[in-house]
Amino acid sequence: MFRGLSISFSFSRAPSLSSPLFLHRQPSAVPRRPLIRRKSKPFPSNSTQVRCFTPTPRMGETWKPKPTIPVIEKATKPELFRALESALGSSFSADPISPPPNPLIIVISGPSGVGKDAVIGKLRESRGENLHFVVTATSRPMRPGEVHGKDYYFVSKEEFLDMKDRNELLEYALVYGDYKGIPKSQIREFMGRGCDIVLRVDIQGAHTLRKKLKDSAVFIFLVAESEAKLVERLIDRKTESKEDLLVRIATAREEVRHVKSFDYVVVNSDGKLDEAVKLVESIIDAEKARVRRKCAAI
Point out the residues that are catalytic. 143, 237, 248
Q: Which of 194, 192, 163 is nearest to 179 (CA)?
A: 163
Report the relative pairing of strands 105-109 and 136-138 from DSSP bridges.
Answer: unpaired
For 268, how many CA atoms within 13 A lie in the half-sphere containing its CB?
A: 25
- Would you call 269 helix, strand, or coil by DSSP? coil
**Which amino acid, residue 126?**
S
Q: Percent helix, strand, coil in the chain (nearest 5)?
A: 40, 15, 45
The answer to whether the beta carbons of residues 267 and 225 sit under 8 Å apart is yes
Report the relative pairing of strands 131-133 and 136-138 from DSSP bridges.
Answer: unpaired
The answer to whether the beta carbons of residues 83 and 70 sit under 8 Å apart is yes
Provide the 10 A C-beta neighbour count for residue 168. Answer: 15
The answer to whether the beta carbons of residues 208 and 253 sit under 8 Å apart is no
Torsions phi, psi of 6, nearest 5? -65, -35
Angle (deg, nearest 10), helices 116-127 and 273-288: 60
Q: Which of 183, 187, 178 is nearest to 166 (CA)?
A: 183
163: Cβ–Cβ under 8 A, 6 or more apart, which residues?
137, 155, 169, 181, 183
- Would you call 62 helix, strand, or coil by DSSP? coil
CA distance linking residue 119 with residue 116, whole number of Å: 5
